[in-house]
């Protein structure tokens, strides 16, 4: 099985209402120290897979996307719906 598929597999297991960090996902997938690969894997993941990409944050608990990014807003909204408290709430305020 390819590494990228391991990432997808692990990411898909994140339960509703919970989050994981990129490094954590990589770790569980048996790829320690390869957080960057997690981000690539998520980007490359087919939409049809419906991976909970929004449940993956930085180790700091912040959203990884830059300000003013549409994805950032989307991710924030998803997390709110699941009752997850995100650190960078400012996005929501505007």
60 touching DNA, by CB under 7 A = yes
> Are the C-beta atoms of residues 56 and 28 closer than 8 Å to each other?
no
Which lies closer to DNA via its Cβ, residue 60 or residue 77? 60
Q: Where are the beta strands (DSSP E) in the chain?
A: 20-21, 56-57
65 touching DNA, by CB under 7 A = yes
Compute the least distance from the CB of residue 83 to DNA, in Å: 19
78 touching DNA, by CB under 7 A = no
**What is the rounded CA–CA span in Å between residue 56 and residue 24?**
9
- Binding track over 17-56 against DNA, x by CB under 7 A: ----xxxx--------xxxxxxxx-xxx--------xx-x
Bridge partner residues of 56 (DSSP): 20
CA dihedral 86, 87, 88, 93 (to 10 degrees): 70
The residues binding DNA (CB under 7 A) are 3-4, 21-24, 33-40, 42-44, 53-54, 56, 58-60, 64-66, 71, 75
């Amino acid at each position: 099985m390819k590494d990228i598929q391991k990432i997808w597999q692990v990411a898909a297991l994140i339960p509703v209402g919970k989050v994981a960090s990129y490094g954590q996902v990589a770790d569980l997938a048996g790829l320690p120290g390869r957080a960057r690969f997690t981000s690539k894997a998520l980007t490359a993941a087919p939409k049809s897979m419906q991976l909970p990409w929004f449940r993956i944050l930085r180790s700091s608990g912040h959203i990884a996307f830059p300000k003013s990014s549409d994805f950032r807003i989307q991710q924030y909204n998803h997390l709110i719906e699941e009752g997850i408290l995100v650190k960078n709430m400012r996005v929501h305020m505007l």
